[in-house]
Amino acid sequence: MPSQMEIRQSSASLAPSSGVREAQKVAKLIDTTTCIGCKACEVACQEWNDLQSEETFQLGTYQTLPNLSPNFWNLIRFTEYEQENQFAWLMRKDQCMHCEEPGCLKACPAPGAIVQYNNGIVDFNQANCIGCAYCISGCPFDVPRLSSKSGKVYKCTLCSDRVMVGLEPACIKACPTSALQFGTKQNLLDIAEKRVQQLKAQGFQNAALYDPQGVGGTNVMTVLAYGDKPEIYGLPKDPKVPLYVGFMKTVLKPLGNVLMLLGVIGAFGHFMRYGKREERGETRE
């Protein structure tokens, strides 16, 4: 593992992974208000990650494909929004949000299949993936995709291979309007705040930054002109790691281990106290 990408959390790991080194959180900022829907980021993503291009078809909108797929990790979603004499074409970059508290990682039972680096990037390691698809249900944003070819799960890596050598992700490099920016999370929060103020001054009173705290914040943040209604962009209003994930991890598994151990102790204790019941009345030599 490269020195600047130390692992902070690893799936199904019994040992703490975080070491002594500290790294600044990196983040991606998506400004939906300056996205022109050119899809350069989609192409850059496919090219850098050596993903075969999927056959596109006419959806009747400015959207390339209907959904994310195992070899399509970055989709500009298109929505026509019409309300109160307002009409807008909404472009939203759908991809892994790189949550601070990743539901996928918490749900994963395969050690090291999902890792979160010190800098906040959440990455899938297909070599350790067992193809159970638990991460798909654990993700509040419906991002991971199971490949029928390999039986393993794929998603945006935030170009961890580029970031680890000091480059920005491929989509950032391709964006012609700087709707996509890359930097430290703190730096981008400041930039986003300024942009939100600008938008408010321009009449978008509800403009806001989408950095949902229900998952501890995300390292992919989105500026929304209609920030009070993230649903119209296809974003959940208040995403949280599904309750069952934590319930299974912190309650069921420890409780199950204790109960099963008590079961073994109980049977052992019974055997030590009462021994084996021999057949009575039987003639034995």
Partner 1 sequence: MSKSEAAVGPIVAPAEASEDSLLGDVVVRHSLLVRVAHWWVALFFILAFLSGAALFSPRYLFLANLFGGGYTARQLHPWFSVLFSLGFMPLFCHWVGPMKWSAADGRWMSNFKRYMRYEEIPDTGKFNAGQKLFFWASSLGGLVLLVTGVVMWFPTSLPIWLRYLSYPLHEIIFILFAIAVLYHVYISTLALGGTLRAMTRGTVTKSWAKNHHPRWLDEASRK
Kindly list the residues in this chain that would bind partner 1 in the complex (CB under 8 A). 12-14, 107, 109-111, 128-134, 136-137, 146, 151, 242-244, 247-248, 252-253, 255-257, 259-260, 263-264, 267, 270-271, 274, 276-285
Which C-beta is closer to partner 1: that of 94 or that of 168?
94
Strand ordering across the sheet containing 220-224: 180-184, 26-31, 220-224, 208-210
Token pair 């052992």: residue: 268
For the bound state, the minimum distance from the C-beta of residue 259 to partner 1, rounded and expressed in Å, comes to 6
For the bound state, the minimum distance from the C-beta of residue 112 to partner 1, rounded and expressed in Å, comes to 10
d(CA 32, CA 90): 7
d(CA 197, CA 94): 24
For the bound state, the minimum distance from the C-beta of residue 135 to partner 1, rounded and expressed in Å, comes to 10
Which C-beta is closer to partner 1: that of 190 or that of 231?
231
Which C-beta is closer to partner 1: that of 145 or that of 185?
145
d(CA 86, CA 112): 48
Beta partners for 223?
Answer: 31, 209
d(CA 95, CA 73): 6
For the bound state, the minimum distance from the C-beta of residue 263 to partner 1, rounded and expressed in Å, comes to 4
Q: In which element (H, E) is residue 246 found?
A: helix 243-247
For the bound state, the minimum distance from the C-beta of residue 160 to partner 1, rounded and expressed in Å, comes to 22
Which C-beta is closer to partner 1: that of 176 or that of 256?
256
Which C-beta is closer to partner 1: that of 169 or that of 230?
230
Angle at 45 between CA 40 and CA 48, to 5 degrees: 120
- DSSP code string of 226-256: TTT-GGGGT--SS----HHHHHIIIIIHHHH
Q: Are strands 122-124 and 220-224 parallel, antiparallel or unpaired?
A: unpaired
Which C-beta is closer to partner 1: that of 201 or that of 251?
251
Which C-beta is closer to partner 1: that of 89 or that of 268?
268
For the bound state, the minimum distance from the C-beta of residue 266 to partner 1, rounded and expressed in Å, comes to 8
For the bound state, the minimum distance from the C-beta of residue 83 to partner 1, rounded and expressed in Å, comes to 27
Give the closest residue to 221 by CA, choosing from 250, 263, 191: 191
What token pair was written down for 29? 């900022």
Residue 251 DSSP symbol: I
